[in-house]
Amino acid sequence: MKIKKEKKSTKFKGLTDNQEHIGYVGELVKQGKNITHAVVELCDKLGYPYSDSLRRAFSHKLEKQGVTDSKKEIPIEQSDEYKEALNRELPKGKYYLITWAQAETPMH
Is 70 exceeded by the pLDDT of residue 3? no
Contact yes or no for 22/58 (Cβ under 8 A): yes
Contact yes or no for 4/31 (Cβ under 8 A): no
- Residue 36's CB is within 10 A of a number of other CB atoms, namely 16
pLDDT in tens, 41-54: 999 988 888 888 88
Cα separation, 95 vs 82, whole angstroms: 22
What is the pLDDT at residue 71? 62
pLDDT band at 11 (very low <50, low <70, confident <90, very high): low
What is the pLDDT at residue 41? 92
